[in-house]
Amino acid sequence: MAVAIARKTLLYEWRRFLPAVAAVAFSGLLMTAQGALLLGIVSANSLYVTQSDADYWLGFPGTQSVELGRTIPASVLTNLYAEPAISHVEPFLLGSGDWRGIHGGGGVSVTVVGIDVQSDSIGLARVVPAKLRNRLREPAAVVVDTADSDKLSIGPGGLAEVNGRTVHVVGFIDGLRGLGGVNVVGSLDTARILDQSLPADGGATYFLFNVAKESEQARVLRHLNQRAPIERFEIWPAKKLADMSTSYMLFDSGAGIAFVFATLIAATIGALITSQTLMAAVAGTIPQYATLRALGVPFSGLRKIVIEQAAWVGLSGLVINGVLSVAIGFIAMIYKVPFELDSAVIVSASLVVLVVAILACLLAVHRLRQADPATLLR
């Protein structure tokens, strides 16, 4: 009975509840969009790891985030090559540079990324295809992300200078847009030429490697970790290094903390908008609830009706929110905006909005408990 009354009231009074549905939809959209932006921005800090196919990264001990890696000597390679279970080892270089157009103009700070250009290499394997990787064998050949082409004022086949040395852009990649700076990807030799501070003796910022058999991974890592304190290196599984980089951006950088704060504010505002709109909608139907009270319906029955109405309003708004979120995600993808529409974000935002909607409706109808039905019907 309570369910039937709740639905009939919503259908009959749809104009009264329509603003509440819109409030739920846009409050959910605000929370979802802010959460997706937060995830997208912080996850961009781990792109070097997530866009590579390496199982393990060997680097300088105590590194907090992948972009903060420091040089490690080539001597550590002895430990990797001594393990027959390790199937692939390659260096990964991170340097810096100043990009300038060949005809002059202002400079742009860039990150110089050096990768192995063999066809089976694993560094940035998910964004640099084999055909483009082969072209990086050419002297001074580099690639940049498509989203950064306007910032660099460059097109395919264009020439520019990095640290005063001419580079040739042989193509564009998609999926390596950095948070602030621009990534310029080249071969290991090209990277060392562009940034002369990078080690030329076989050292690297990281050494990437895979273990052929999963059953051997624990033994290999145990043996390598025994040597790590002596030769000053540390090994991270790819997922752990990616999580470390994301956490560093989220909790240890000023930008990350500010964005978390902005996300919390957005969630609070969304909750307030939802609660106030729903309380007003329910308050407008108080006479109908009072009529039911006068007819002998217990307060627990009214509570069920209100919860049912709040659930329907919330679900209707969340369906609209889902459609709008997907649309915004599609637009963000077109414009290369870091927008990660994760299912956890959608579920979290939906639960918050739904709980707030139910609580707001219950608070609005709570004053019926002590009120005189005859007074409310006047």
Residue 365 in tokens? 């109808």
Q: What is the pLDDT of residue 260?
A: 79
Q: What whole-number percentage of the chain has pLDDT above 90?
A: 43
Q: Which carries the bigger pLDDT value, residue 334 or residue 58?
A: 58
Across the range 86-109, mean pLDDT stands at: 87
Q: What is the mean pLDDT of residues 143-151?
A: 91
pLDDT of residue 348: 86
Give the model's pLDDT for residue 17. Answer: 74
Q: Which residue has the higher pLDDT, 271 or 190?
A: 190
pLDDT tens-digit readout, 55-81: 999 999 999 999 999 999 999 999 999
- Mean pLDDT of the chain, nearest integer: 85
Going from N- to C-terminal start, the domains of the chain cover 2-44+253-376, 73-232
pLDDT in tens, 209-255: 999 888 899 999 999 999 888 888 999 999 999 999 999 988 887 77
pLDDT at 1: 47
- Top pLDDT among 106 and 313 is at 313
Residue 295 clears pLDDT 70, i.e. is over it: no
Say if residue 101's pLDDT is above 90: no
The whole-number average pLDDT for the span 325-334 is 91
Q: Computed from CA positions of residues 116, 118, 122, 126, in that sequence, does the dihedral angle turn out positive or negative? A: positive
